[in-house]
Amino acid sequence: MIDGLEAFFESRHRGVAEELTRFAQTQMNAFASAHDDAEARAQTPEAVRLMGRAGWLQPQDSRTLCLFREAVAAVSPLADAVFAIQGLASVPLRLSGYDGPWLERASRGEAVGGFAMTEPEAGSDVANIQTLARPDGDRWRLSGRKWLISNAGLADFYVVFARFEGAEGSRGIGGFLVEKEAVHFVGPQVLSAPHPLGQLEFRDSPARLLDKEGFKLGMRTLDTMRVSVAAAACGMAGRALNEAILHAKTRRQFGQSLSEFQLIQAKLAQMALALESSRLLTYRAAWQRDQGQQRNTREVAMAKAQATEQAQFVIDQAMQILGGKGMLADSPVEHLYRAVRALRIYEGTTEVQYLIIAKGLLS
């Protein structure tokens, strides 16, 4: 994974990359093909446990975080998503200085976390969150509904974003910790690529305040994790390219292998260019963050927009090269085709990334 990108890594990262490749191929391959929502929900806690037991849920630098997601996403998009949500639930606890047991349990893989920000009327428009928080002694009570929440109904705890009663705008949003017993699971929202997603209701639910500046907490959390979305996209694209190359070399049509047709060669070249440019932007942004450049928002936006859009292109081209074989339900490329689409939406749509890039240019 590091070949050609040595300028962005330290010598220790090569060993990390090799270890991650082994871990992904031997431990995460069991989660490569969940067939439906129920199976994805059954597999999620076990994936968390294995990651925690291996130590990968402990704090990592940005480059290791990206190496992990690239390696795992190539094997199992479900396992990659599980890791991402565990990170989204753990990072705000660390950032807020939380001193309770949930952070350590999540880091060991003993507890599944959830990150509850999205609402029916608050997707990209986070400042429009309507879930309300009212004080109750030294605790808080939450009322409202969240949807499109990963690990909904599965998580042992949730980091929830809610508006203080009577407050307006982004400054009126707080970050809270809510344990599973206080949350009502409305039901699943089923994706085409199996992933535990659903709706939650808070019915005067007891909560612990993590940070009065919840909007900033949420944005800092997303900033921490967003570059790794680009890495996951690279992992999926890399797997698709490898599958396309293998098929092109072994599939014969009209008396020769597909790889001998110039149109196929051109497709493979375009796919490789898309992947390598994405990886360069991704690991540049991760390297910058590890050098202390925490305000590299534009570079992270470039990486996320490029990698996720190009991963969609690469996987689509791989499907075209594989033809009917690629559309079969047991094809890795078919699984990737369904899984990659969400990456262009979650943690900031491509359109939002374009706005961030343009704002940086114009300033």
* Active site members: 347
**CA gap 350, 136 in Å, rounded:** 40
**CA gap 83, 290 in Å, rounded:** 20
DSSP 87-135: HHHHHHHHHTT--SSHHHHHHTTSS-EEEE--BTTBSS-GGG---EEEE
Q: At which residue do the structure tokens 């344990």 appear?
A: 179
SS3 of residue 178 by DSSP: strand
**CA gap 60, 66 in Å, rounded:** 10
Structure tokens belonging to residue 220: 């800092």
Using alpha carbons, select from 342, 315, 335 the residue that is nearest to residue 241: 315
The amino acid at 137: G
SS3 of residue 61 by DSSP: coil
Cα 350 to Cα 86, 229, 357: the distances in Å are 23, 12, 11
**CA gap 166, 319 in Å, rounded:** 52
Cβ-based neighbours of 34, under 8 Å, separated by 6 or more: 40, 43, 78, 194
Phi, psi of 268 (to 5 degrees): -60, -40
